[in-house]
């Protein structure tokens, strides 16, 4: 991936948050925006049309400025042109013009790639450049996702072995990646298959549009004539009765003619509510495969691979540190690496713990480094019970001190990823003592009136 593209990828998610518009609106104006060049003083973007350029400049320039400063750590002058403007020869007589148009970046091989994947795969925001990388080869496996990957490969090789295939798991764990891996595999190995990929939201929007315009037949036909239908994030059907109805018919018609259906969701069918019983039964009638959060080893492997892919040099120690801190979401890991790359390549500096902390505090503000968290917890407990931190850590067995210590231990266990042994280390006690403190608090939560509320309040205070 070229540097501008990876900077763009670092910018986009933050830009989306800063703009705060619905995804479809955001994609409308920002979907095809490209970074043409960037220096320490100036960023030049290319908008696909004059209208989009105008809207970006008049409506969104402050969010663009803000995002660049947040992601790169410094402000630049933002310029937006259309490709035509960039291609135009510089005005002739204009000798001393400071505002000269920047020299256009030569068109690379990538040009023209930003089109719809194939005529059967629509959804203008699903761009080839990104999804080309979503392959089985690029999907790193560990115990949390081996089964899902194997199921997807089986279906890609031999559509309809499992029908439907239903992949579920939390956000950022690779479901969309797997869907595209299937598509990419099929494009090479079964080029004659008609494949339709849709985000569920797009499916909904299209259906509504068809219904509003009164022309539903082409919509139905498009979905019913494909060989493979992939719908991403099907949980969005929840509560939408009419769409469920239409989807049921599409589903049944494809299923009966032995066409492959692949669905993803952030939860299993039984937890999509409300969902009609007949759809639930259909979803559960094929193969269910889940993706779980990656364990430490898989996180390490993913960080190494992704850092390698974008050309980021990072020490083993920092790889482990990141794996320790970013536990639940692979998208977040990727976002952090891209930001690190943007930050470090601009300042020609190394990836240090401070840099990692800085980046994580932006992408995941609630994620506090363990050291800082330990301190926060001890201080909060100390203040709440009026017992100083030294006494909490001491061997003193006074009733009030012991009780506060139990709470501190409990909070350390539930609010950090520290092991019993590590917590024992803080209090110079063995792990079974730590365990009994936790049991003590658990028991009190269940049996003592108001105790749970007190613990919750402490937690809230620590998080704030
Ligand atoms: P989901 O659809 O489950 O929310 P995505 O498929 O969008 O998640 O994954 C988020 C990002 O993490 C993507 O860029 C994807 O390539 C990456 N990713 C997820 N799982 C893996 C994996 N096992 N190996 C490599 N990259 C992964
Ligand atoms: Mg997804």
pLDDT tens digits along 154-185 = 999 999 889 999 999 999 999 999 999 999 99
- The protein residue whose alpha carbon is closest to atom 5 in ligand 1 is 174
Going by C-beta distance under 8 Å and a sequence separation of 6 or more, which residues neighbour residue 123?
Answer: 116, 197, 198, 199, 202
**pLDDT exceeds cutoff 60 at 126:** no
Neighbours of 61 (CB within 10 A): 12
Tell me what pLDDT residue 410 has. 97
Tell me what pLDDT residue 338 has. 92
Q: Which whole number is the average pLDDT over 397-409?
A: 96
Tell me what pLDDT residue 253 has. 94
Beta bridge partners of 196: 229
Q: How confident is the model at residue 123 (pLDDT cuts 50, 70, 90)?
A: very low
Expressed in angstroms and rounded, the spacing between residue 302 Cα and the centre of ligand 1 is 10
Distances (CA, A) of 269 to 31, 256, 276, 284: 31, 21, 10, 7
CATH superfamily of 125-290: P-loop containing nucleotide triphosphate hydrolases (3.40.50.300)
Q: 332 in ligand 1 pocket by Cβ < 6 Å?
A: no
Expressed in angstroms and rounded, the spacing between residue 414 Cα and the centre of ligand 2 is 29
Q: 177 in ligand 1 pocket by Cβ < 6 Å?
A: yes
Instruction: Render pLDDT for 1-57 as a digit per residue (tens, 0 to 9).
Output: 677 887 888 888 888 888 988 887 888 889 889 999 888 888 999 999 888 898 899
DSSP-derived 3-state class of residue 94 = coil
Q: Which whole number is the average pLDDT over 89-118?
A: 35
Tokens 């194997």 sit on residue: 150
Tokens 């037949």 sit on residue: 217
Instruction: Give the nearest ligand 1 atom to 177 CA.
Output: 6
Q: 173 in ligand 1 pocket by Cβ < 6 Å?
A: yes
- The protein residue whose alpha carbon is closest to atom 21 in ligand 1 is 174
Q: 424 in ligand 1 pocket by Cβ < 6 Å?
A: no
Domain 296-363 adopts which CATH fold? Helicase, Ruva Protein; domain 3 (1.10.8)
DSSP-derived 3-state class of residue 177 = helix
Q: 151 in ligand 1 pocket by Cβ < 6 Å?
A: no
Evaluate whether 396 touches 386 at the Cβ level (below 8 Å): no
Q: Which whole number is the average pLDDT over 126-150?
A: 87
Q: What span, in angstroms and rounded, lies between the C-alpha atoms of 396 and 429?
A: 12
Instruction: Render pLDDT for 77-96 as a digit per residue (tens, 0 to 9).
Output: 899 998 888 887 655 433 33
What is the per-residue burial (b if ≥16 Cβ within 10 Å, else e) of 162-184?
A: bbbbbbbbeebbbbbbbbbbbbb
Burial of 297 (0-12, 13-18, 19+ CB in 10 A): exposed
Tell me what pLDDT residue 129 has. 52
Distances (CA, A) of 371 to 100, 150, 423, 460: 50, 39, 12, 18
CATH of domain 3-89: 3.30.300.180
**Average pLDDT across the chain, whole number:** 88
Tell me what pLDDT residue 108 has. 33
> How far does Cα 203 stand from its chain's mean position?
21
Tokens of 314: 């990072």
Domain 370-463 adopts which CATH fold? Chromosomal Replication Initiator Protein Dnaa; Chain: A; (1.10.1750)
Beta bridge partners of 38: 43
**pLDDT exceeds cutoff 80 at 441:** yes
Expressed in angstroms and rounded, the spacing between residue 399 Cα and the centre of ligand 2 is 51
Would the pTM count as exceeding 0.85? no
Tell me what pLDDT residue 92 has. 44
Instruction: Tell which one of 140, 166, 172 to mutate to probe ligand 1, the residue whose CB is within 8 A of the most ligand atoms.
Output: 172
Q: Which whole number is the average pLDDT over 370-374?
A: 90
So where are the chain's domains? Answer: 3-89, 125-290, 296-363, 370-463
Q: What span, in angstroms and rounded, lies between the C-alpha atoms of 344 and 7?
A: 12
Tell me what pLDDT residue 75 has. 84
Expressed in angstroms and rounded, the spacing between residue 130 Cα and the centre of ligand 1 is 12
Which listed ligand is nearest to 197 at the C-alpha?
A: 2
Q: Which whole number is the average pLDDT over 208-237?
A: 93
């Amino acid at each position: 991936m070229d540097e501008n593209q990876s900077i763009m990828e670092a910018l986009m998610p933050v830009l989306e948050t800063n703009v705060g518009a619905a995804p479809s609106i955001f994609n409308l104006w920002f979907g095809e925006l490209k970074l043409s060049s960037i220096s320490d003083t100036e960023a030049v973007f290319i908008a696909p049309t004059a209208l989009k350029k105008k809207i970006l400049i008049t409506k969104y320039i402050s969010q663009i400025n803000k995002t660049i400063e947040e992601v790169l750590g410094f402000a630049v002058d933002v310029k937006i042109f259309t490709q035509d403007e960039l291609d135009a020869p510089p005005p002739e007589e204009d000798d001393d013009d400071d505002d000269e148009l920047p020299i256009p970046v030569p068109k690379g091989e990538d040009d023209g790639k930003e089109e719809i994947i194939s005529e059967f795969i629509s959804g203008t925001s699903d761009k080839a450049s990104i999804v080309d990388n979503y392959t089985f080869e690029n999907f790193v496996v560990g115990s949390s996702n081996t089964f899902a990957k194997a199921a997807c490969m089986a279906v890609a090789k031999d559509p309809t072995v499992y029908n439907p295939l239903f992949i579920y798991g939390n956000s950022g764990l690779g479901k969309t990646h797997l869907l595209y891996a299937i598509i990419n595999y099929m494009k090479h190995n079964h080029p004659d298959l008609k494949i339709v990929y849709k985000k569920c939201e797009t499916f909904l929007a299209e259906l509504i549009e068809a219904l509003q315009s009164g022309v539903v037949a082409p919509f139905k036909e498009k979905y019913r004539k494909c060989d493979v239908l992939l719908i991403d994030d099907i949980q969005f059907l929840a509560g939408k009765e009419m769409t469920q109805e239409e989807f049921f018919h599409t589903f049944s018609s494809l299923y009966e003619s032995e066409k492959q259906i692949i669905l993803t969701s952030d939860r299993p069918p039984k937890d999509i509510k409300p969902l009609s019983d007949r759809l639930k039964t259909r979803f559960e009638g094929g193969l269910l495969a889940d993706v779980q959060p990656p364990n430490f080893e898989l996180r390490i492997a993913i960080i190494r691979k992704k850092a390698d892919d974008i050309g980021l040099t990072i020490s083993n120690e920092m790889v482990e540190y990141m794996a320790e801190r970013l536990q639940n979401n692979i998208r977040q890991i990727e976002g952090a690496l891209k930001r690190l790359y943007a930050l470090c390549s601009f300042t020609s500096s190394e990836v240090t713990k401070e840099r990692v902390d800085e980046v994580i505090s932006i992408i995941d503000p609630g994620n506090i480094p363990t050291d800082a968290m330990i301190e926060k917890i001890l201080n909060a407990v100390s203040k709440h019970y009026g017992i100083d931190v030294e006494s909490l850590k001491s061997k003193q067995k006074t009733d009030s001190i012991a009780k506060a210590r139990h709470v501190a231990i409990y909070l350390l266990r539930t609010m950090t990823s520290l092991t019993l042994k590590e917590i024992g280390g803080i209090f110079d006690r063995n792990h079974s003592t730590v365990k009994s403190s936790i049991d003590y608090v658990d028991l009190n939560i269940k049996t003592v009136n108001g105790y749970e509320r007190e613990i919750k309040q402490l937690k809230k205070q620590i998080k704030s």
